[in-house]
Amino acid sequence: MLFGLSHAGIRHKKVLLSLAVLSLWAIPAAAVAGDEVAFLTQDNANILWTLLAAILVMFMQAGFGCVEAGFTRAKSAGNIMMKNFLDFAAGSIIFFLFGFALMFGSDMGGFIGTSGFSLAGVADGDLPWTYTFWFFQSVFAATAATIVSGGMAERTKFSNYVLVSLIVTGFIYPVSGHWAWGSLWLGDDGAGWLEALGFCDFAGSSVVHSLGGWLALAGAMVLGPRVGKYTEDGKAKAIPGHNIPLAGLGVFILWFGWFGFNPGSTTTADNTIGLIAMNTSLSAAAGTVAAMTFSRLRYGKSDISMTMNGALAGLVGITAPCATVTPGSSIIIGLVAGVLVVLSIEFIDKVLKIDDPVGASSVHGVCGAWGTIACGLFNVGDGLFMGGGASLLGVQLLGAGAFLAWGFGGGYVMFSVLKALFGLRVSKEEELKGLDIAEHGSESYNGFQLFTTE
Amino acid sequence: MLFGLSHAGIRHKKVLLSLAVLSLWAIPAAAVAGDEVAFLTQDNANILWTLLAAILVMFMQAGFGCVEAGFTRAKSAGNIMMKNFLDFAAGSIIFFLFGFALMFGSDMGGFIGTSGFSLAGVADGDLPWTYTFWFFQSVFAATAATIVSGGMAERTKFSNYVLVSLIVTGFIYPVSGHWAWGSLWLGDDGAGWLEALGFCDFAGSSVVHSLGGWLALAGAMVLGPRVGKYTEDGKAKAIPGHNIPLAGLGVFILWFGWFGFNPGSTTTADNTIGLIAMNTSLSAAAGTVAAMTFSRLRYGKSDISMTMNGALAGLVGITAPCATVTPGSSIIIGLVAGVLVVLSIEFIDKVLKIDDPVGASSVHGVCGAWGTIACGLFNVGDGLFMGGGASLLGVQLLGAGAFLAWGFGGGYVMFSVLKALFGLRVSKEEELKGLDIAEHGSESYNGFQLFTTE
Amino acid sequence: MLFGLSHAGIRHKKVLLSLAVLSLWAIPAAAVAGDEVAFLTQDNANILWTLLAAILVMFMQAGFGCVEAGFTRAKSAGNIMMKNFLDFAAGSIIFFLFGFALMFGSDMGGFIGTSGFSLAGVADGDLPWTYTFWFFQSVFAATAATIVSGGMAERTKFSNYVLVSLIVTGFIYPVSGHWAWGSLWLGDDGAGWLEALGFCDFAGSSVVHSLGGWLALAGAMVLGPRVGKYTEDGKAKAIPGHNIPLAGLGVFILWFGWFGFNPGSTTTADNTIGLIAMNTSLSAAAGTVAAMTFSRLRYGKSDISMTMNGALAGLVGITAPCATVTPGSSIIIGLVAGVLVVLSIEFIDKVLKIDDPVGASSVHGVCGAWGTIACGLFNVGDGLFMGGGASLLGVQLLGAGAFLAWGFGGGYVMFSVLKALFGLRVSKEEELKGLDIAEHGSESYNGFQLFTTE
């Protein structure tokens, strides 16, 4: 024993003692000799796991920034990063002051929370968990807000986007979040109306993704398309992204962070997190493969941006059902999501003629709704999510509809009012110049020769 | 006590109570008063640690994508990202259906596993661990496959690369993986022939890296060099990478993920993970310093891509011995790897005249073999890895040879058959255009002015 | 129970059993039936948490590389990556051989440690923790060194930068580190003079950031400005960064890694880490918002690089006080840091006329000092950090001054001596060509058309 290590071959099961014995064996001799041996409490383990998961989810902000910047043009890349910083930064503060209380505070009629503003009034004993839970929820809130920026890329006035971001994180997101997750914080102060019905949205296909996606759709619609996106006779023109490796890195970052998003939603260090991770991985894989294959069948070549969106579609789709379906079902859920996202992007682009530059409404809105419904279709949970007498599928459909109505409807009202009051959009000249110069007075790629015609 | 926190100065040992006391002190008063205090079980701790490590390893996919794209040309960057997505996505599904069972199922003759396809037949009590272990192993499998794509960059037909990826993850990797790690899953159903001899490959210098590297070498050889790589009289020309910061970021991501790869290979939350991390860090550091210095001595200037490959060489080299050598030995292992990778890249490029665009065969193949041998040379483990009467070094040499034979030989057969059946390579016109346009109909850097002559 | 999972609805508190019960319930039946159930020891939990935090901090190296490269010009981007690799690689080895012992070894007069070179002489029982603690501290040391490279970007001779890096990590950093953290390792061998006074620098606003920032300032001053930075009549010209999305990604990576940096500085898996993460997040958010708003008020537009530096400023500012202030105070600390960094960057650039290309001295030096002072202003800790009879604020001011004197003074001496002996700077021709070509013989963006005039 050269290192004071207890063993070197733990992976070789033929020499592996039972863990009960190992545990004692791993304790420093001194401890065994006289001291009491201390163990990690489950409470502190939950704090540890939830914090680590939150950190992973926080990093998804980087992923969104890279995906959105990569899939749009070089002349607005810095502005997109700025919106992502804003969403997380202003969002964290507003969620501390208001959002968290509206989402998780004492329930009022199943519709909204009413206590815990700035975490005021929390009992001392509840504070360590509350800090951790707040942080975990704050990065979820920021995710929802960031999704919106994708649909509104390359033409939104920065000063007004600030308002959008604050309203989403401070009000729209927490209100509908309360419907589905209102009792998750301390739990004894009443549930939201959807969770009271037994609505299943384990990690937020609806709460986070659909909401963000439907808001993005409303925003893109109220803003109108980018200059040059549609010809005079209404034909959609592709405006390709300027940095595909950056977007690809962004997708990998999101995929990575999603292993905090889904397994972390246990907020408990227990033995279910392996299944959740496996389901998350398989659905993302299936979404990737489906979009890669389906785009090849449809366009003759495997499309890069569709494939990347397929990965995200699989991730969004498994977010609600990840804890309550089998690995086999996860593959099916991902395959459907990967096809759905291709069809939806086409439909929104070519039929609805709404210019959503990164496909946010398809990836997060449509596939979030799919995930919510899939949770009802493939459920093998032990009944905890089932509402009283109603079928789970019915509740899931109701919930998906409620998020569509609130996200798209509420978003439409918000964007229309902001447009009427301040004007949401930059001028045509500013848009042609690019938002980096127009809104921030600087370029993103100094020294590089860029084509000036687009 | 304003926050309900138990302490604020834990790092100041002069005021630090013993942990045994602290642990009680940190328990909420309510719990102490009446409830039983719950502790985290070692089983769930192992699940937690193994899952977190797997998540870190998963992120290495992003690192490989960035390194491979950065070290090759702009016109194929999106294609490289696509291959990385494919390797992980298709790989995860095929590893679920077949690979895992072939690698870890009930042993047949020491050569292959035969049970656990789609995880069928696993006892309920084993499922939580199995899900976690599967996920951990699936990201290892994807790593091996992704290494191959580097050696085959910029000229391989995408549709045929799909087959390569499926065969590697579904058959080649799990078979040789079984030889060395076959008993790791549940352990009571027989070992692979190499592990039965006492072969040491703690985290996969051979199982993952050498195998991937030797496959890359075979692939690069069967494919032939890129257009313009060698002059008519056989002189090698450098084809420099298009995005060095992206490659550098990729190396850092890989380095980061390696702290899941190596320490996570305990699959146990125990007290050995600190040493493994320290050894990993020191060897990577030494590899970097060695390549930086050696390339300066050899070429007059510290070469950037050699230095980055030196970091990876150090990481690959320490992967097998990380748990059973001293920190001092880790530095030596890394130094050797950093020199070796420079010499090997030169040798393969200039003497063998095989065009491996990112040096995958040198980094992973050669330095993986070095790490496997180093495990025998520097071993200070407590004998767990020693085979019956044979010397460990002998077993390590045998194992390194076996992986070379299986990886290069098996790969050569596979690539030759695929070439004969379908043609592995794109046409010369497609290659000159770049795989992004040729295979996916889009460019990676829209709006940027690129030189069209290369 | 289809999966062998113990539950599927853990997040739904209305069905949540008490954790004490859950814990038993989550134990595999077999374990309950006959075996002893093993639990994770607090010692091993501390190793697990500290290791995971160290891994996150290690990744900050990637963040620094991206920020520094992104904020400077394309022609030196590879050189910047090389310096970051060097700082971590050479730094790890020198910190193993010397730095760790000088920082944490047996105290001599409160000024320097004197034992533990290469970890020699550590008792077997202390080794597992020591390996982990060493790794955690090694990534902190590398962070300090990397900060310096930012201020010296685009004009420093690589061969001499190697010496700078070695001296900083092997001597300057550990010496002042000993003053504040000298007793943290095993604790019973005497404290540094600042910690003996009750100095509070929980995670290193002074120890890591101020020191790095003041060294960067001295380096930038001794080197002199880049060619073309100041007009003949002394007016500062902006030299904009070449890759803003890369810089933005780098800031997000740093932000992500900071959740290892600050909460990990407990080096204990306890219940305080949630508050520390929350404070870290809120201060970073406030710094971002402050810089975004303040730059808009000052320049008419929200400046992108100022906003990104504002995020880092908030992070640096909260690093000392993160464990001993309230969330509300964290917002104030971040807001001040976000304004301060804008004013400081202007002051150093336009008034002092020191060319710090990435604002390292403002972000890390000035905001590190601010964080150190803020720790005294907003302290609500339970007195553990208070020195004997002196006020905490006084001790904090003294400490901030000591780091300024040591970092700037010591740095000035070091840089001046190196300059006199070897010449710190590349030639004007080399600088105009860019350090990638001049120092490493390669370009970072092959195939891209770059403007040749800058």
Smallest CA–CA separation between A294 and chain C, in Å? Answer: 31
| CB contact at 8 A, C262 and C322 | yes
Smallest CA–CA separation between B102 and chain A, in Å? Answer: 18
Q: Is residue B22 domain-shared with residue B149, that is, in the same domain? A: no
Q: What is the pLDDT of residue B26?
A: 37
Region A224-237 average pLDDT: 95
Q: Is residue A31 domain-shared with residue A150, that is, in the same domain? A: no
Question: Looking at the predicted structure, is the pLDDT value of residue A274 above 90?
Answer: yes
Within a domain: B312: yes
Q: What is the pLDDT of residue B384?
A: 43
| Contacting residues of B for A23, CB less than 8 Å apart | 42
Within a domain: B446: no
| Contacting residues of C for B8, CB less than 8 Å apart | 272, 323-324, 381-382, 384-385
DSSP H helices, A224-366, are 244-261, 273-299, 304-319, 327-346, 360
Within a domain: C242: yes
Q: Which pLDDT tens digits describe chain B residue by residue (454 residues)?
A: 233 333 333 333 332 222 222 333 333 433 444 457 999 999 999 999 999 999 999 999 999 999 999 999 999 999 999 999 999 999 999 999 999 999 999 999 999 999 999 999 999 999 999 999 999 999 999 999 999 999 999 999 999 999 999 999 999 999 999 999 999 998 767 899 999 999 999 999 999 999 999 999 999 999 999 999 999 999 999 999 999 999 999 999 999 999 999 999 999 999 999 999 999 999 999 999 999 999 999 999 999 999 999 999 999 999 999 999 999 999 999 999 999 999 999 999 999 999 999 999 999 999 999 999 999 999 987 544 443 335 899 999 999 999 999 999 999 999 999 999 999 999 999 999 999 999 999 999 999 999 865 4
Smallest CA–CA separation between B452 and chain C, in Å? Answer: 8
Are B308 and C158 inside 8 Å of each other by CB?
no
pTM metric for this prediction: 0.93
Residue type at position B280: T
| CATH code of the domain containing A237 | 1.10.3430.10
**Measured between alpha carbons, how far is B342 from C241 in angstroms, rounded to an integer?**
32
R_g of chain C computed on alpha carbons: 23
Count CB neighbours of B91 within 10 A: 27
H/E element, A107: strand A107-108
| Contacting residues of A for C328, CB less than 8 Å apart | 118
**Measured between alpha carbons, how far is A325 from A318 in angstroms, rounded to an integer?**
9
Q: What is the pLDDT of residue C382?
A: 57
Take residue C3 and report the two structure tokens written for it: 């999966």
Q: Is residue A260 domain-shared with residue A334, that is, in the same domain? A: yes
| Regions of chain C short of the pLDDT cut 50 | 1-34, 383-389, 454
Smallest CA–CA separation between A362 and chain C, in Å? Answer: 25
Smallest CA–CA separation between B326 and chain A, in Å? Answer: 8
Q: Of C376, C259, C395, C368, nearest to C329 (Cα)?
A: C376
| Contacting residues of C for B22, CB less than 8 Å apart | 42, 268, 270
Are B331 and C93 inside 8 Å of each other by CB?
yes
The share of chain A scoring above pLDDT 70, in percent, equals 89
The share of chain C scoring above pLDDT 70, in percent, equals 89
Between A17 and C186, the higher pLDDT residue: C186
Three-state SS string over chain C comes to: CCCCCCCCCCCCHHHCCCHHHHHHHCCCHHHHHCCCCCECEHHHHHHHHHHHHHHHHHHHHHHHHHHHHHCCCHHHHHHHHHHHHHHHHHHHHHHHHHHHHHHHCCEECCCEECCCHHHCCCCHHHHHHHHHHHHHHHHHHHHHHHHHHHHCCCCECHHHHHHHHHHHHHHHHHHHHHHHHCCCCCCCCCCCHHHHCCCCCCCCHHHHHHHHHHHHHHHHHHHCCCCCCECCCCCECCCCCCCHHHHHHHHHHHHHHHHHHCHHHHCCCCCCHHHHHHHHHHHHHHHHHHHHHHHHHHHCCCCHHHHHHHHHHHHHHHHCCCCCCCHHHHHHHHHHHHHHHHHHHHHHHHHCCCCCCCCHHHHHHHHHHHHHHHHHHCCCCCCCCCCCCCCHHHHHHHHHHHHHHHHHHHHHHHHHHHHHHHCCECCHHHHHHCHHHHHHCCCCCCCECECCCC
pLDDT, tens only, A369-394: 999 999 999 998 754 444 333 589 99
Are A303 and B442 inside 8 Å of each other by CB?
yes
H/E element, B113: strand B112-113
Distances from the Cα of A336 to the Cα of A330, A333, A365, A376, A449, angstroms? 10, 5, 14, 15, 41
Are B82 and A1 inside 8 Å of each other by CB?
no
Q: What is the pLDDT of residue B117?
A: 97
Q: The tokens 């065994």 sit on which residue? A: A32
Q: What is the pLDDT of residue B35?
A: 58
Q: Is residue B200 domain-shared with residue B343, that is, in the same domain? A: yes
Are B259 and C119 inside 8 Å of each other by CB?
no
Are C275 and A131 inside 8 Å of each other by CB?
yes
The subunits that touch chain A, with at least 3 C-beta pairs less than 8 Å apart, are B, C
Question: Looking at the predicted structure, is the pLDDT value of residue A180 above 80?
Answer: yes
Question: Looking at the predicted structure, is the pLDDT value of residue A8 above 60?
Answer: no
Take residue C289 and report the two structure tokens written for it: 């918002």
Q: Is residue B338 domain-shared with residue B358, that is, in the same domain? A: yes
Q: What is the pLDDT of residue C35?
A: 58
The partner residue sitting opposite A23, judged by closest CB among C39, C269, C289, is C39
Q: What is the pLDDT of residue A20?
A: 28
Return all residues near B232 (Cβ < 8 A) that are at least 6 apart: none
The partner residue sitting opposite C381, judged by closest CB among B9, B22, B44, is B9
Region A110-122 average pLDDT: 96
Q: What is the pLDDT of residue A195?
A: 94
Take residue B434 and report the two structure tokens written for it: 């770049």
| CB contact at 8 A, C346 and C184 | no
Smallest CA–CA separation between A422 and chain B, in Å? Answer: 32
**Measured between alpha carbons, how far is C397 from C378 in angstroms, rounded to an integer?**
14
Smallest CA–CA separation between B94 and chain A, in Å? Answer: 10
The partner residue sitting opposite B135, judged by closest CB among A248, A278, A449, is A278
Determine which of A21, A126, A135, A392 to mutate to test the interface with C (most C C-beta atoms within 10 Å).
Answer: A135
**Measured between alpha carbons, how far is C402 from C318 in angstroms, rounded to an integer?**
19
Q: Is residue B74 domain-shared with residue B15, that is, in the same domain? A: no
Q: What is the pLDDT of residue C190?
A: 86
| Contacting residues of B for A449, CB less than 8 Å apart | 448-449
> Scanning every residue of chain A, which has its alpha carbon at the shortest distance from the alpha carbon of C72?
A446
Domain residues for B12? 1-39
Q: Is residue B142 domain-shared with residue B7, that is, in the same domain? A: no
Q: Is B269 left (phi over 0), alpha (psi -120 to 50) or beta?
A: beta
DSSP 8-class letter at A41: B
Inter-chain CB pairs, A–B, below 8 Å? 295
Q: The tokens 């006199």 sit on which residue? A: C420
**Measured between alpha carbons, how far is A326 from A330 in angstroms, rounded to an integer?**
6
The partner residue sitting opposite C9, judged by closest CB among A88, A91, A385, is A385
Within a domain: B174: yes
**Measured between alpha carbons, how far is B112 from B109 in angstroms, rounded to an integer?**
7
Within a domain: C451: no
pLDDT, tens only, A316-357: 999 999 999 999 999 999 999 999 999 999 999 999 999 999
Q: Of A332, A280, B129, nearest to C3 (Cα)?
A: B129
> Scanning every residue of chain B, which has its alpha carbon at the shortest distance from the alpha carbon of C39?
B41
Q: Is residue B399 domain-shared with residue B273, that is, in the same domain? A: yes
Are B88 and A285 inside 8 Å of each other by CB?
yes
> Scanning every residue of chain B, which has its alpha carbon at the shortest distance from the alpha carbon of A331?
B93
Q: Is residue A47 domain-shared with residue A103, that is, in the same domain? A: yes
Within a domain: A281: yes
The number of distinct structural domains making up chain A is: 2
Within a domain: B120: yes
Q: Of B53, A70, A259, A29, nearest to C126 (Cα)?
A: A29
Within a domain: B451: no
Determine which of C23, C41, C449 to mutate to test the interface with A (most A C-beta atoms within 10 Å).
Answer: C41
The partner residue sitting opposite A447, judged by closest CB among C31, C74, C253, is C74
| Contacting residues of C for B60, CB less than 8 Å apart | none
pLDDT, tens only, C43-90: 999 999 999 999 999 999 999 999 999 999 999 999 999 999 999 999
DSSP SS3 for B345: helix
Q: What is the pLDDT of residue C390?
A: 52
Determine which of A15, A39, A266, A332 to mutate to test the interface with B (most B C-beta atoms within 10 Å).
Answer: A39
Q: Is residue B230 domain-shared with residue B303, that is, in the same domain? A: yes
pLDDT, tens only, C343-367: 999 999 999 999 999 999 999 999 9
Determine which of A55, A131, A256, A298 to mutate to test the interface with B (most B C-beta atoms within 10 Å).
Answer: A256
Q: What is the pLDDT of residue C36?
A: 79
Residue type at position B106: S
Residue type at position B71: F
